[in-house]
Structure 1
């Protein structure tokens, strides 16, 4: 495990999967991340690459050949990802293609993820380099789980998510039997910017948004005010999720999305897929901001 700290916050990152696993206040020791209780959900903040969510039949095709990648890709749980560089305020991890990865992801890539501490913020920077002689295809995203409620005097129902702009976006429903995006949608907002959190909100899996106006969302407590914000300017999709019995909330910036039920499984035309030409590098970042009043 690797530790970074400044005068306001401390973070920890696991060796396996380069997964952020702790955010806490230096001064008052308040914890802001979910504890990955294995009886409910054993993740902290998995890194998602080169797919988001599930593939239809767990497979895709590329140039008429069939391949298989597990849900959310092969960065999470990966034991071969390495610390590339550590500075006073940053940690950078890397994973490179190898003979094993080429069997089910036929692209030569370098994946980097950097955690950068700046004052009361953690910037999570994803960098993908194409070291192949052909265009590569991928999705990338985050899955951070935040403690909810944060303080002992609160309940889950005391919390809400407040978006920076008025929204009318609908959630795209997930088929819970196969994890695929169904054609059905459901209203979440009614010309508002708030989602009230309740455990039964996720009885039908995640809320999946494709067309939000906002690029920032704040986790709020009616007793203790703004807790933290996630800014996701580089990410067009957003997932909101928790296990119905879990005292946490995942705010998931995505560049990509699970397969739809009617997909033809062609990786090149998969919804949300990114393409990167030979020799080029792609970068996208999101930011977690812990509000200062909870750090003192």
Structure 2
């Protein structure tokens, strides 16, 4: 399994889906990633492309033709990604459109994802190149799941998420039956910048934010302080999720969201969709910073 390593951290990446599997302290072996218990949720950090979340009837329309598309797209379980380059500090995977993918996604593209390890920071870089003669429509995002609680003597409720700025954003609710975004919202941020973790927080599925001012969210323990931060400068949407009562927390930078219930299913009209001109390249990155106090 491909890995990167320096004096502080070792990270492992699965070849299937180029999925981040582990972020481990070199000195004390602390593990910061959820270890994908299949009885609860069998993933670590899926990469989402070319859609985020569910589509109405698992399909979309392009040029008057209907195409099927599974939730979160086709990268996360894909075994066709190849390693383009690999050093001690960086690895890049690439997926190019092929006949099988073209049947569900009629665009010619080149998708790259790279992981860069520098000191105590992992940067996840995405690149999408339109190698077609027509406009490319896509979304992309991350789905990293972090171990929470981190240590055995802790409870889930010992932890909270803290935004870098005061927020008044509300979470957009999903229809629990079809996974589509409704017009309903709920307030989950307290004290202007915190979300307290508890076992019932995700009883209505993921928290979805469209209009955050913050571009960083931090996982903190009420007594021990900062554990890790996710910075998402290039991502206007953010998802936060876990299975109810599970011992992890997903912090998900998104470019796009699931279909809204009133969608006409035209992919070019999908909320958050990116349109990329022929011959153009799109880049977006987010980073994960592990607090050094947990690495000694």
Q: Tell whether the structures are fold-level matches, with TM greater than 0.5.
A: yes
Per the alignment, residue 254 of structure 1 pairs with 254
Instruction: State how far apart, in whole Å, the 2-side matches of 1:216 and 1:279 are.
Output: 32
* 1:226-245 equivalences in 2 (<5 Å): 226-245=226-245
Verify: 1:218 aligned to 2:218, yes or no: yes
Deviation (angstroms), 1:191:
5.4
Q: Normalising by structure 2, what TM-score?
A: 0.99
* 1:185-196 equivalences in 2 (<5 Å): 185-190=185-190, 192-196=192-196
Per the alignment, residue 200 of structure 2 pairs with 200
Number of residue pairs the alignment of both structures matches:
296
Verify: 1:79 aligned to 2:93, yes or no: no
CA offsets 1:122-174 (integer angstroms, 9 cap, x no match)? 00000000000111000000000000000122100000000000011000000
Contact 2:44/2:144, CA 8 A, preserved across alignment: yes
- Long gaps (5+) in structure 2: none
Q: Normalising by structure 1, what TM-score?
A: 0.99
Per the alignment, residue 17 of structure 2 pairs with 17
Contact 1:168/1:190, CA 8 A, preserved across alignment: no
Instruction: State how far apart, in whole Å, the 1-side matches of 2:118 and 2:191 are.
Output: 34
Deviation (angstroms), 1:223:
2.9
Per the alignment, residue 29 of structure 2 pairs with 29
Q: Give every structure 1 segment of 4 or more consecutive aligned residues whose post-TM-superposition deviation is greater than 4 Å.
A: none
Instruction: State how far apart, in whole Å, the 2-side matches of 1:245 and 1:84 are.
Output: 39
Contact 2:45/2:145, CA 8 A, preserved across alignment: yes
Q: SS in structure 1 opposite 2:193?
A: strand
Verify: 1:157 aligned to 2:157, yes or no: yes
Instruction: State how far apart, in whole Å, the 1-side matches of 2:135 and 2:277 are.
Output: 4
Instruction: State how far apart, in whole Å, the 1-side matches of 2:26 and 2:133 are.
Output: 47
Per the alignment, residue 180 of structure 1 pairs with 180
Instruction: State how far apart, in whole Å, the 2-side matches of 1:18 and 1:158 are.
Output: 32
Per the alignment, residue 144 of structure 1 pairs with 144
Instruction: State how far apart, in whole Å, the 2-side matches of 1:69 and 1:89 are.
Output: 34
Contact 2:4/2:87, CA 8 A, preserved across alignment: no
Deviation (angstroms), 1:189:
2.2
Deviation (angstroms), 1:187:
1.2
Instruction: State how far apart, in whole Å, the 2-side matches of 1:113 and 1:190 are.
Output: 35
CA offsets 1:204-224 (integer angstroms, 9 cap, x no match)? 000000001100000001132
Q: SS in structure 2 opposite 1:200?
A: coil
